[in-house]
Chain A
Amino acid sequence: MPKLTLQFEGRLLKEYAVGSGLTIGRLPDNAVIIDNPAVSGHHARLICDTGSVVLEDLQSTNGTFVNGEHVLRHVLRAGDIVLVGKHHLVFDNSAEAAMPGPVLSGLGDTVYLDTKQHRELRQTLEDAKAQAVSMRPSAKAAVPRRRTGVLRVVAGGADQYEYDLDAHTSLIGRSQSALVRLRGWFKPDVAVSIARSSDGYVVTLLGGKTLINNEPLVRRHTLKDGDLLNVSGLMLEFRWKDSEPAESAA
């Protein structure tokens, strides 16, 4: 069945099944109502005539355009774009539109959240989630203040005395993007990465040799307060920054 899709500024507003006598205009007695001052009360209409659909301008003030051309009468073809005021109406008469899509397993087309129903459901879910969080007895304890770690240089050449581990990923190596830059031709480009997660920092060995508390790092290690890192000769100590006395006492 042929259809018209009403669009405004790239947004799909509504779809209409095309039938004879369908009228387009600003007033509420039209089949396609476009409530915009640029549209005449009765702006245009469609006439279905032996299989073809004819668009007719009803002496509108601002005119009716098809594919950019001003028209008074026009036989619509699939893909034609009708401009009424600032609204577009796309005419679709293609075979695909006539037949329902070949959906086998009930897996429909993916759509973007744009219907009222979807928005309402999202709001309900957001409310439910917010409530669930506030209902949780340990709500406050469940959201601990995120602690930041710091690496202090104990021995070896570095350009700072200490490095805050603020980033999601901090690198130690010769690389430009490393937080702690190693110097020397034979130092690895990236020796270790330190990844920050909700519950701490994980060191991953990527190149060269790294010792943690004098034990060779093999794969990964979760940092603890006071851990001593030897990254290709540079000695660093890991400390929690500004850990409150109350917390350490607990």
Chain B
Amino acid sequence: MRLRVGAGTHIGRVRSLNEDAYLLREDEGLFVVCDGMGGAPAGEVASQMAVDAIVRELRETPQPAPTSSAAHDPSYLPHTTRLAAAVRQSNQFIYDRARDDPRQAGMGTTLVGVWIRQHVVSVAHVGDSRAYLWHDDRLEPLTRDHSLIQMQIDAGLLDEHTASAAEHKNVLLRVLGREPDVDVDVREVTVRVGDYVLLCSDGLTRMVPESMLAHTFVESREPQRICDSLIAAANSHGGADNITVVVVEVADSWWRRLLNRRTRSDRRGQYAEANVAV
């Protein structure tokens, strides 16, 4: 397995600052997108702190033994548990900094992170930055926003079509840095060669409907090209917020790629018609 990555961030067309931050560690299979909040300079401080803390935590915390302590949740794979612990730790860092420095009081950030190891993607998230999986020719959400609006949808008070007109649409129920402790949602999903993982800030998903996101994966298979056209789409729909997009393709190793070239091109022809129905 090999990962091919495309990524980009754009300030959008309205904001005067980019408070998003992202992280790419192709070799380790680690990818993170954060969307900071709290006004200058706190927002971008929080998002960058979160990204830095995750890397530091995962590097410095030694790999726990398979039969490790009580903190280890046996129902998830070790790397999922470690990712979640690193996110909680970064919450602590941001919270402490915000408390100690009044200029950064109230800063916070969303976070969506994936750690891809041995074909299993560990997903951790807090807030309204999202992860999607493109597989079997459709786009599947891997996260559910921690927002009032998502809660209204869940309670059956709104459906997704009227949601964009709803009140309180900017209210998050969970972010990093605002409480001493935070619940981190985690999930595991198995990927195969040909699957793609998309991470993005809400600057993309509020501007571009999911059907259009999916269509981009039909039109292009090249991660950087997918990324660029998603950012362009968000801007052409208004670009009301910072836009950050990370696209990771689960690809074959080069020799297997060579071997499979023929069968794959056959298969793509076969699915070309199914692709339209997304």
Give the B-binding residues of A (Cβ under 8 A). 5, 7, 9-12, 79, 81, 88, 90, 96, 102-105, 107-114, 118, 121-122, 125-126, 128-129, 132, 166-169, 171, 173, 175-177, 189-190, 193, 195, 202, 204-206, 219
A209, chain B: closest CB distance, angstroms: 15
| Interface check B69, CB cutoff 8 A | no
Is A110 a contact of B202 with CB atoms below 8 Å?
yes
Is B148 a contact of A113 with CB atoms below 8 Å?
yes
Most chain A CB within a 10 A radius of its CB, from B13, B206, B240: B240
| Interface check B238, CB cutoff 8 A | yes
Of B75, B108, B120, the residue contacting A112 (CB under 8 A) is: B108
Contact indicator per residue, chain B 18-41, by CB within 8 Å of chain A (1) or not (0): 000000000000000001010110
| Interface check B209, CB cutoff 8 A | no
Q: What A residues does B155 contact at CB under 8 A?
A: 125, 128-129, 132
A104 to B15, CA, bound (A): 9
- The stretch that binds A, out of B85-93, B98-106, B220-228, is B98-106
Chosen A-B contacts, 29 in total, with CB atoms closer than 8 Å, are: A10-B98, A10-B106, A11-B105, A12-B106, A79-B103, A96-B40, A107-B241, A109-B39, A110-B128, A110-B202, A111-B37, A125-B148, A125-B155, A128-B156, A129-B151, A129-B154, A166-B74, A166-B75, A168-B187, A169-B76, A169-B120, A169-B188, A171-B77, A195-B188, A195-B189, A202-B190, A205-B192, A206-B119, A206-B192
- The stretch that binds A, out of B3-11, B53-61, B165-173, B211-219, is B165-173
Is B99 a contact of A105 with CB atoms below 8 Å?
no
Is B171 a contact of A12 with CB atoms below 8 Å?
no
Is A175 a contact of B118 with CB atoms below 8 Å?
yes
Q: Residue on B with the closest CB to A82?
A: B102
Q: A104-B238, A125-B155 are in contact. Are A109 and B105 (CB under 8 A)?
A: no
Q: A105-B240, A193-B120, A193-B190 are in contact. Are A168 and B76 (CB under 8 A)?
A: yes
Is A110 a contact of B76 with CB atoms below 8 Å?
no
Q: Residue on B with the closest CB to A178?
A: B118
Q: A79-B103, A102-B16, A104-B238 are in contact. Are A113 and B120 (CB under 8 A)?
A: no
A136, chain B: closest CB distance, angstroms: 11
Contact indicator per residue, chain B 248-268, by CB within 8 Å of chain A (1) or not (0): 000000000000000000000
Of B13, B77, B103, B168, the residue contacting A81 (CB under 8 A) is: B103
Is B37 a contact of A109 with CB atoms below 8 Å?
yes
Q: What B residues does A5 contact at CB under 8 A?
A: 105
Q: Residue on A with the closest CB to B176?
A: A112
A112 to B36, CA, bound (A): 11
Is B76 a contact of A167 with CB atoms below 8 Å?
yes
Give the size category of B's interface with A. Answer: 35 or more
Q: What A residues does B187 contact at CB under 8 A?
A: 168
Of B80, B95, B173, B188, the residue contacting A113 (CB under 8 A) is: B173
Which residues in window 64-81 of B have CB below 8 A to A?
Answer: 66, 74-80
Q: Residue on A with the closest CB to B122?
A: A169
Q: What A residues does B119 contact at CB under 8 A?
A: 190, 193, 204, 206
Number of A-B contacts (CB under 8 A): 138
A170 to B10, CA, bound (A): 39
| Interface check B157, CB cutoff 8 A | yes
Of A108, A128, A206, the residue contacting B190 (CB under 8 A) is: A206
Q: What A residues does B236 contact at CB under 8 A?
A: none
Q: Residue on B with the closest CB to A204?
A: B190
| Interface check B274, CB cutoff 8 A | no
Is B99 a contact of A110 with CB atoms below 8 Å?
no
Is A219 a contact of B105 with CB atoms below 8 Å?
no
With A105-B240, A168-B76, A177-B77 known, 7 other A-B pairs at CB within 8 A are A10-B105, A81-B103, A110-B37, A113-B173, A114-B178, A122-B173, A177-B79
Is A105 a contact of B98 with CB atoms below 8 Å?
no
Most chain A CB within a 10 A radius of its CB, from B66, B74, B118, B175: B118
| Interface check B14, CB cutoff 8 A | yes
Q: Residue on B with the closest CB to A96?
A: B40
Is A110 a contact of B190 with CB atoms below 8 Å?
no
Which residues in window 35-52 of B have CB below 8 A to A?
Answer: 35, 37, 39-40
Q: A102-B16, A112-B108 are in contact. Are A167 and B74 (CB under 8 A)?
A: yes
| Interface check B152, CB cutoff 8 A | yes
Q: What B residues does A121 contact at CB under 8 A?
A: 148, 168
Q: What A residues does B74 contact at CB under 8 A?
A: 166-167
Sorted nearest first, the 9 A-B pairs with minimum C-beta distance are: A10-B99, A107-B240, A193-B190, A169-B188, A88-B102, A204-B190, A129-B155, A12-B106, A110-B170
Is B157 a contact of A204 with CB atoms below 8 Å?
no
A66, chain B: closest CB distance, angstroms: 12
Is A125 a contact of B202 with CB atoms below 8 Å?
no
Most chain A CB within a 10 A radius of its CB, from B119, B128, B206, B238: B119
Q: What B residues does A177 contact at CB under 8 A?
A: 66, 77-79, 118
